[in-house]
Structure 1
């Protein structure tokens, strides 16, 4: 079975209230078995949700910090 093309995933953290957003890392990830980009991902032991794919084709995941 052929391996699906990897994609670039960026992981951002958003402060409570959405006032600050900062990137905590970027890495190459494997797609789902059907070729789709996963809607959630784990990074450094935390769960992130897919937010948007930017103009460069990077899938940006976010994690909201609680108050």
Structure 2
């Protein structure tokens, strides 16, 4: 759930409303998830540089689909 949140956060341009809509969750739920990511990682996911690094890490670590 948190990986999906990070990916959506970056792909929606770090915009709360767009990200919440994409994830089909309430804006407060998204804020709660982002805060949880902040606490677990010790980093501020609302800072663009940190968020982008986490996004790229999620993509790099994601299982690849095989044809």
Q: TM-score range by the shorter chain?
A: under 0.3
Q: Which has the higher strand share?
A: 1
Q: Which has the higher helix share?
A: 2
TM-score, length-scaled by structure 1: 0.28
TM-score, length-scaled by structure 2: 0.28
